[in-house]
Amino acid sequence: MPVIHDITLTISETLPVWPGDPPVQMSQPFSLARGDFCTVTRLDISAHTGTHVDAPAHFIPGGAGVDALDLNVLIGPAWVTAVPDVPEITAETLAALPIPPGVQRLLCQTRNSARWARGETSFTADFTAVAADGAAWLVEHGIRLVGVDYLSVSPYEEVIPTHQVLLGAGVIVLEGLDLSAVDPGAYELVCLPLKLAGADGAPARAVLVER
């Protein structure tokens, strides 16, 4: 059996959310414990909760929704790269990383993942993210999917440019990964976002299969 690493955050009411997004709420309109004939959970969440994919419609007017994203990009060979302890992943940072030629799916393992390993329950604005020139580097180098290990691919203080560069170029952005328990290297990525009609994003289950 293949070794499968689950790099998905668990959705629960203690999961940090982006400031301004609704907190995760899980309730049970039907409950065996209350004498109902079954248990049914109701979920109130943003489309950008936990491990999730951004679609072009998130920042590009008229852009594609998450239901139109290419499954051939969401599933396939991926490279996990360890990023040194930097506040922003710039073009210079990326150029110095040992990324093999031909990589199309790049997952950036940073200091952020330690927060998930520690089970932190509050949002921090102090996370490592991709700078706008880093986003341009990714596009220029043929990256079709980029994954990051905090809730946004872009720095907290400057959310627009990085998203616009990546989503404008059709790069799939996978956010909120927990890469704390995987080694850098080559894997097979399987990432399946919920099929929400025309939505700007969707939670996803993401796993890395050892090759």
Query: Site residues (CB under 5 A) for Zn ion?
Result: 48, 54, 175, 201
Nearer to Zn ion, 4 or 160 (CB): 160
Closest distance of CB 153 from Zn ion, Å = 8
Closest distance of CB 110 from Zn ion, Å = 17
CA distances from 22 to 26, 48, 205 (A): 12, 10, 20
| CB-closest chain residue to Zn ion | 48
The token pair at 204 is 């996803």
- Side-chain half-sphere CA neighbours of 8 within 13 A: 20
Nearer to Zn ion, 161 or 185 (CB): 161
The residue annotated as part of the active site, out of 5, 48, 52, 58, is: 58
Residues 6+ apart with CB under 8 A from 101: none
Burial of 34 (0-12, 13-18, 19+ CB in 10 A): exposed
Nearer to Zn ion, 90 or 152 (CB): 152
Closest distance of CB 15 from Zn ion, Å = 14
CA 36 to chain centre: 37
- Single out the residue of 208, 209, 131, 136 nearest to residue 171, CA to CA: 136
Nearer to Zn ion, 10 or 28 (CB): 10
Q: Is 58 a catalytic residue?
A: yes
Closest distance of CB 201 from Zn ion, Å = 5
Could you give the residue numbers annotated as active site?
58
